[in-house]
A and B are shown apart, each in its own frame.
Chain A
Amino acid sequence: MPALILLGIFMIYPILWSLWMSFQTGRGMAFSFGGFTNIMRLTQDPVFLRALTNTLTFLAIQVPIMLILALLFANALNDSRLWGRSWFRTAIFLPCVTSLVAYSVVFRSMFAQDGIINQMLMGIGIIGSPIPWLADPFWAKVVIISAITWRWTGYNMIFYLAAMQNIDRSIYEAARIDGVPAWARFWHITVPMLRPVILFTTVISTIGTLQLFDEPNLLTQGGPSDATLTLSLYIYNLSFRFMPSFGYAATVSYVIVVLVAILTIIQFLVAKDRRA
């Protein structure tokens, strides 16, 4: 019973209250019921559309890159013949336990106009003049995608590694005796066996990317010219940087809720189809 009360106060009440908030309009604490005003406002808001497009772009590009990388790393590190296996595992996992602020500062200085990345690329002759990483809309997106990938690949890799340990060795041995090449063993044994974990990491990463806030906030503040503005950053701006518009901010956060729900259902359906 006490658990139910706690759940009610800290889970259900805020959810219902924020849903109620999303139908309120007004400035600061002076709000009134606005019906569907906020939803109408969403459809005409160029900033919201930019934030939505950016978030979905990050999702469509970053999540597949990261999960494939994690899978490849896990497969490589699962090989018991590899020297220094646990060292590599720790090294790849380390970014996701690193202090967010510290790594943002390092990334900012690495990708500065005269930072190490530009110096290196110019040194080996790939580019002639420094790339304005954080001042150009396209490159700023690239930096954000690299940063999230760097931070979360190891985290997903750990899930895959754990799942791989549970695959019976004898299956691989049988395949090897039958002359199945390594890539085919990976593709036809490992990947299908990992399907539930892959579904899990896809859902978790999708939710994480839809709520993406830290990297754009610390690296680019959503700039240049809103090129890296995400939905979460927009909600933050609406609540704490701009004239507080809590009702509208709640509406935008329900957009994330709906997106998460839809994408998760789709991912479950796709996984179910394959299994059938």
Chain B
Amino acid sequence: MSGNTSRWTRTLAVALAGISMATMSAASAAEITVWAWDPNFNGATMNKAGEIYAATHPDTSVTVVDFAKADLEQKLQAQLASGTTDGLPDIVLIEDYGAQKYLQSFPGAFEPLNDYIDYSTFAPYKVELATLNGQTYSLPFDSGVTGLFYRSDILGEAGYTAADLEGITWDRLIEIGTDVKEKTGQILLPFDPNDAGLIRIMLQSAGSWYFDADGNVTLADNPVFKAALSTYQDVVASGITKPVAGWTEYTGSFTSGDTLATVTGVWMVGTIKANADQSGQWGIAPIPSLSGVEGATNASNLGGSSWYVLSSAPNKEEAIDFLASVWGQDADFYQEILVNQGALGSLLSAREGEAYSASDDFFGGAPVWQGFSDWLGEIPAVNYGLFTNEADSAVVAQIPALTSGGDVDEIAAAIDAQVRQQVQ
């Protein structure tokens, strides 16, 4: 009995000593905790950055905690709302559409980074969306620069070359889609009636958004919004689209060859390239522009996210220094994550690197990254405001009315009314 007791005491003593040593070493070395979603993309790039930083700061380590995006947002929002900062990470990934929502509803929760980062070296639209009252809070990361991804082999059969898709309008794309359908019998685009992403792409491509620069709702009187709605209506009515439900059916439709093209963010490259047997059968062009709209461009954005430092972070100084020294200026790092993860960051100087000008055989030998980074510089900056999610669901609620041929003015007025009601 006594032998057992003493053994137990000894084990306890050893365990306590172990714990106290662990605490001591933890105190002398900073462990930067990061919350992110998508371990193969965001998590992998952050880990790579952590490795680079650890080479010069051996005492500091970066730990990425992986969540589903919705879970992360819910956890962050609930915790900030409860006012308890224990358990929050040092750095958190936030999607651009939600940036102002977090910055304005939880004042003081995030750390302004103007003193540490030279924002003139980043894509202006990414900087603007994380700026509030002259302070910028994010380290701009993943760009959502958009492109038109298409099956060059099948469009080629119908007689279209890459040059035919360069700098076109939506009206022209409808003509091409109709012609391809006649010649090959295949449908050009998938569309998800539960997702307003295409309308958002169209809006931003012409420098407009659900809200004006001051954040006011102006949907009923916004000519760009009405043009986007009627273009969307024309695209669906022309018979060149196929309805899909949800993300899996959406990506499945063009990777399986059911549809021939999609207009989406650069991050789709990975999903498309995952089908190695389709190598050489794909092409990428700039997105179509809105016909007859002032300020219409062939560049836009969809999604995208950035890193934010929490003011309550236990290792705030280390976290800021880490972001500023690796993410803020290391062009080699950006080359590496571009090649390995297909991550197109927002640091403009990183575009000079070799990886960006390399050609990609999967996309017929085109300099894919060069194209995207050129368009990145052309994306019109807009104010996403606070209520993009609310406006989005108002648009989605009217998509059935839109696709069944409803009057665009009435639909715009109904969306306008719902958004006004929701933003009070």
Could you list which residues of chain A lie within 8 angstroms of chain B, going by C-beta atoms? 25, 27-30, 41, 44-47, 50, 108, 112-113, 132-135, 137, 220-221, 223-226, 237, 239-244, 246
Contacts and interface: CB of A to CB of B under 8 A. Distances in A.
B193 A240 contact: no
B421 A223 contact: no
29 contacts: A28-B104, A28-B105, A29-B81, A29-B106, A41-B424, A45-B421, A46-B421, A47-B421, A112-B249, A134-B246, A135-B243, A135-B244, A135-B245, A224-B399, A224-B400, A225-B193, A225-B396, A225-B398, A226-B393, A226-B396, A237-B389, A237-B393, A240-B73, A241-B73, A242-B387, A242-B390, A243-B386, A244-B77, A244-B105
Contacts of A243: 101, 105, 386-387, 389-390, 423
B421 A27 contact: no
Q: Which of A46, A108, A241 has the most CB of B within 10 A?
A: A241
Interface string B379-419: 00000001101100100111110000000000000000110
B74 interface: yes
Q: What does DSSP make chain A's interface, helix, strand, loop or mixed? A: loop
Contacts of B193: 135, 224-225
A27 B400 CA distance: 31
Contacts of A25: 424
Contacts of B101: 243-244
Given A28-B105, A135-B244, A243-B390, 4 more contacts: A45-B421, A47-B397, A47-B422, A225-B193
Q: Which of B246, B389, B396, B398 has the most CB of A within 10 A?
A: B246
Contacts of B107: 30
Interface string B77-92: 1101101000000000
A239 B74 CA distance: 9
A46 B243 contact: no
A133 B249 CA distance: 13
B291 interface: no
B170 to A, nearest CB: 23
Interface of B: 73-74, 77-78, 80-81, 83, 101, 104-107, 192-194, 243-246, 249, 386-387, 389-390, 393, 396-400, 417-418, 421-424
Given A47-B418, A224-B193, A240 B74 contact: yes
A196 B398 CA distance: 45
A137 B400 contact: yes
B105 A135 contact: no
Q: Nearest 6 A-B pairs (CB), nearest first?
A: A28-B105, A223-B194, A135-B245, A134-B245, A240-B74, A225-B397
A69 to B, nearest CB: 28
B194 A27 contact: no
A137 B422 CA distance: 22
Contacts of A221: 194
A49 to B, nearest CB: 11
Nearest to B396: A225
A231 to B, nearest CB: 15
Contacts of A224: 193-194, 245, 396, 399-400
Contacts of B245: 112-113, 132-135, 224
Contacts of B73: 240-241
Contacts of A50: 397
Given A112-B245, A137-B400, A223-B194, A29 B390 contact: no
Contacts of B249: 112-113
A242 B105 contact: no
Contacts of B105: 27-30, 243-244
A108 B73 CA distance: 24
A261 B67 CA distance: 38
A87 B417 CA distance: 55
A41 B106 CA distance: 23
B81 A244 contact: yes
B216 to A, nearest CB: 15
A246 B421 contact: no
A112 B423 CA distance: 34
B209 to A, nearest CB: 16
B422 A240 contact: no
B399 A225 contact: yes
B396 A29 contact: no
Contacts of A46: 417-418, 421
Contact of B244 (A44, A113, A244): A113
Contacts of B397: 47, 50, 225-226
A6 B243 CA distance: 53
A135 B101 CA distance: 29
A240 to B, nearest CB: 5
Nearest to A222: B393
Contacts of A225: 193-194, 396-400
B104 A246 contact: no
Contact of A135 (B81, B194, B386): B194
Given A135-B193, A243-B386, A223 B396 contact: yes
B287 to A, nearest CB: 24
A44 B390 CA distance: 16
Q: Which of B78, B83, B192, B249 has the most CB of A within 10 A?
A: B249
B77 A240 contact: yes
A175 B417 CA distance: 64
Nearest to A50: B397
Given A132-B245, A224-B194, A240 B106 contact: no
A23 to B, nearest CB: 15
Contacts of B422: 45, 47, 242
A132 B243 contact: yes
Contacts of B424: 25, 41
A11 B223 CA distance: 52
A135 B81 CA distance: 34
A244 to B, nearest CB: 6
A121 B389 CA distance: 37
